[in-house]
């Protein structure tokens, strides 16, 4: 079992990082391997809608997106955490996720997703919903917890006082491990569900 973690905070030792420590502790205890990509202060270009990825493997822009694509293809679970900016995810993280999910073109079915939003006070539910959208358009089951995964704090370290948020992160991580293991058994026993040819329609035809 292997989990890819995407930390969408610019801050090295921010509250998102602290929340992730709870997740990785549980993964370590369960002997699930993980690797963490950190956005930091990287400038991530948004999608150009150039269509390159329709005809070529990967994204036309050469940056972390193309390095993350094989890691996304290989993982059993994906954790995304974002600080909340104006009641939504960090724009640079969204730029990366749009391009990664659009261009990676790998089979994401039954990889387990878990998203967390970290804020001073408001916008975590909207951000949580926003991040879960990347999972639910890709047939990825979601590991849930005992709340709509959030953590609270403004200055780095303040999340330490949010015992409920940190506990919820551990609960989600344990549920994620259980789901990944159950899905691995299910794949062996039943195989993945039969795919149908994709139908693409929109509202003007």
Ligand X SMILES: Cc1cc2nc3c(=O)[nH]c(=O)nc-3n(C[C@H](O)[C@H](O)[C@H](O)COP(=O)(O)O)c2cc1C
Minimum Å gap between C-beta 190 and ligand X is 39
Neighbours of 107 (CB within 10 A): 12
In this structure, the dihedral spanned by the alpha carbons of residues 11, 14, 17 and 22, taken in order and rounded to 10 degrees, is 180
The length of the chain is 205
Three-state SS for 36?
A: strand
Q: Which is nearer to ligand X, 21 or 45 (CB)?
A: 21
Residue of minimal CB distance from ligand X?
14
Minimum Å gap between C-beta 62 and ligand X is 27
Q: Which is nearer to ligand X, 2 or 170 (CB)?
A: 170
Q: Where are the beta strands (DSSP E) in 138-201?
A: 150-152
- Between CA 199 and CA 191 the distance in angstroms is 23
Minimum Å gap between C-beta 193 and ligand X is 37
Q: Which is nearer to ligand X, 133 or 154 (CB)?
A: 154
| Binding site residues, ligand X, CB under 6 A | 9, 11, 14-16, 83-87, 118-123, 153-154, 156
Q: Which is nearer to ligand X, 86 or 178 (CB)?
A: 86
- Between CA 114 and CA 102 the distance in angstroms is 19
Minimum Å gap between C-beta 84 and ligand X is 4
């Amino acid at each position: 079992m292997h989990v890819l973690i995407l930390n969408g905070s610019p801050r090295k030792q921010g509250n998102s990082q602290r929340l992730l420590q709870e997740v990785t502790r549980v993964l370590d205890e369960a002997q699930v391997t993980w690797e963490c990509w950190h956005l930091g202060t990287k400038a991530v270009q948004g999608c150009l809608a150039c269509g390159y990825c329709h005809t070529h493997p990967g994204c036309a822009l050469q940056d972390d997106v193309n390095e993350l694509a094989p890691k996304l293809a290989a993982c059993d679970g994906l954790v995304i955490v974002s600080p909340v900016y104006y009641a939504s995810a960090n724009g640079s993280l969204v730029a990366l996720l749009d391009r990664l999910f659009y261009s990676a073109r790998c089979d994401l079915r039954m990889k387990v997703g878990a998203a967390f939003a970290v804020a001073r006070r408001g916008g975590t539910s909207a951000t949580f919903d926003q991040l879960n959208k990347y999972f639910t358009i890709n047939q990825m089951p979601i590991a849930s917890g005992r709340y709509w995964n959030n953590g609270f704090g403004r200055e780095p370290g303040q999340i330490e006082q949010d015992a409920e948020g940190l506990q919820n992160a551990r609960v989600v991580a344990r549920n994620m491990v259980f789901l990944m293991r159950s899905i691995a058994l299910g794949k062996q026993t039943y195989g993945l569900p039969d795919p149908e040819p994709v139908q693409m329609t929109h509202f003007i035809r």
